[in-house]
Structure 1
């Protein structure tokens, strides 16, 4: 099951990515891509995927920001300084305010680089209202592999969300 803090890969829920023409590939590159796709290390439709951190689950009431600049989930403030960039005191979790209740079968997602992430906050006016249908999730990211000098396991920072109750529907 998907949990708050998980980093998920999902297909564009509609209008998040600008349309792109598929570039032509040299035969050697096409062959390499075919092999990588065959063993699961690449996706043939990777240009239609995004990667973000799950902040809100179905039924969650997610608000930004409280007087300390923190996001609250179901009225519980969360301290995201361990993973959002830039790190530092006095930095609000988002420069965009929002107050949403995550609908059934959907997620509220934010990028860790909040000042440079076109995430749920920036798609409130689209038909999906910034929510990502759970059916669009294709997997969880667990490893940074590029650039190679940054290889590392990804942490879902589950301790950040420890005090958050299941959802407003379960209270």
Structure 2
């Protein structure tokens, strides 16, 4: 066999092991310009929003709004504080979030800062800014005896003196006058942290209910202040202040 024929056979043998690459020189079939007129060829990513797309956005948003509304009605309360009766714990103008579930779930404890509806016309003659809500600290539970001998003496609960320095406003006394109250069933005894400027259970002993607040009037327990942002903080209940008080009456 001639040398040229041999070389030709070798080239053909070598060529049989080469994999051809795709021919990128041939233009693909052009896509139709009017995608709406040719839906079977339409690119889903290039189409406009459909009604299904609209629903997929609106439905989750609506569910979120409903859940937020339910939380607002049944779980959390939001209040603005118009007075200084709870200084320095809570300042005038602070926005406050409360837990509405504390009362119905029997989670009330001594030391809780509670929001409640005016129990017996406490707000008559005051600038209540159109609201009938008040905020104080829960000092006595049903069955407790809350007392104080007056200026220079501590408040006692069931005969045990409590140290209120963690929350009482500096420079104020636990009470500048004497009082003694037995907390009846279904009620609580409340006091403001700013004792010098708080018309609380002490001041309303003649309101027909001994100055006590019916548990049914309690709207929630304060959790935190969120506005102004510089005042953002958790509202502390300071349950430890009452740790030595005998008995833990249920609400």
Work out whether the TM-score is over 0.5.
yes
Q: Counterpart in 1 of 2:74?
A: none
Q: Distance in 2 between matches of 1:21 and 1:131?
A: 21
C-alpha change, 1:68 and 1:149, in structure 2 (3 Å) is: same
Which one has a bigger Cα radius of gyration? 2
Choose from 190, 215, 220 the match for 1:109.
190
Q: Counterpart in 2 of 1:49?
A: 133
* Residue 14 (structure 1) aligned with residue 120 (structure 2): yes
Q: Counterpart in 2 of 1:27?
A: none
1:1-171 aligned at under 5 Å gives the runs 1-18=107-124, 47-65=131-149, 69-87=153-171, 92-166=173-247
**1:96 Cα deviation after fit:** 2.4
**1:144 Cα deviation after fit:** 1.6
How high is the TM-score relative to the length of structure 1? Answer: 0.76
How high is the TM-score relative to the length of structure 2? Answer: 0.53
Q: Distance in 1 between matches of 2:128 and 2:152?
A: 45
Q: For the aligned residues, what is the CA RMSD?
A: 2.5
User: What is the number of residues matched between the two proteins?
Assistant: 143
Measured against aligned partners, the alpha-carbon deviations of 1:37-93 in whole angstroms (never above 9, x if no partner) come to xxxxxxxxx701001000000000111137951111011110001100125xxx531
Query: 5+ residue gaps in structure 2?
Result: 1-106
Query: 5+ residue gaps in structure 1?
Result: 24-45
Measured against aligned partners, the alpha-carbon deviations of 1:27-46 in whole angstroms (never above 9, x if no partner) come to xxxxxxxxxxxxxxxxxxx7
